[in-house]
Structure 1
Amino acid sequence: MASTIRCKLITPEASLLDDEVTYASVPLWDGLIGMTNGGSPLVAKLGMGELRLDFPNLGQAKGGSRFYYVEEGFMKFANNELTILASEALPAENLVESDCAAELRAAETRGVPNDATDKLGEMDKITKARNAARAKLALASSFKHKGI
């Protein structure tokens, strides 16, 4: 498969994917990057958001795309092999829109405790939780229209 790359998606709990893909859209800390066959070697820090993997058509099996919510970690691309090490990775089909909406409501009502010794650190945690909940909700909402 000359036009594919090997993609591995790994978390501390499990290896979620080890397959051939034609394209990967990876959320980095500073924006999205697209990875295809023949790309230059790269090591980069992950951000949080939607990971999109496009699969090739194989014989009568039609290709398609799979989506994951990923958060924190690193990616490495070399020799047409993409390895994504994420602290969290959730398949889009496992995200429930109502649960994601509840997570966002909870994150938005959370405030910095008055007795917090590191108020900026606490605010960073709250901001991260809000951004993660927004990203999960957006993926859950769009996935129900895409399917797998």
Structure 2
Amino acid sequence: MGMISEFKEFIAKGNVLDLAVGVVIGAAFGKIVSGLVDGIIMPIISMLTGGVDVSGWKHVINPAQIGADGKEIAAEVAIKYGDFIQSIINFLIVAFVIFLVVKAYNRMRKPAAEAPAATPEDVLLLREIRDSLKK
């Protein structure tokens, strides 16, 4: 079997198509949740914390060097831990919103009715024997 035919067989499997659809829908849903976080939730958190911008927090190792003419000679060297903290906060909020959406979806979806379990063959045989003895 050639590589091209193997590739065609791989692509033709339903799992690959399902995965592709899931990735596309997941990316679109991620944009929706990010918009919710950036546009609604983070302004509320900013209001509650007095407008504190965590993303600007940093530890300056070497400050920027400014020349006599006011131009920057050497850039500032800093550890920007605020961006990392902001990313963690965003991740936790996005994960929580996705959790709430999935929880609401599962609550709305009705569980499938379970089919009654088939009676084992030995029980059926015993019932036949019991019925024949009653006669």
TM-score computed with the length of structure 1 as normaliser: 0.28
More strand by percentage: 1
The structure whose residues are more often helix, as a share, is 2
Higher relative contact order (CA 8 A, sep 6+): 1
Larger Rg: 2
Q: Normalising by the residue count of structure 2, what TM-score does the alignment of the two structures yield?
A: 0.30
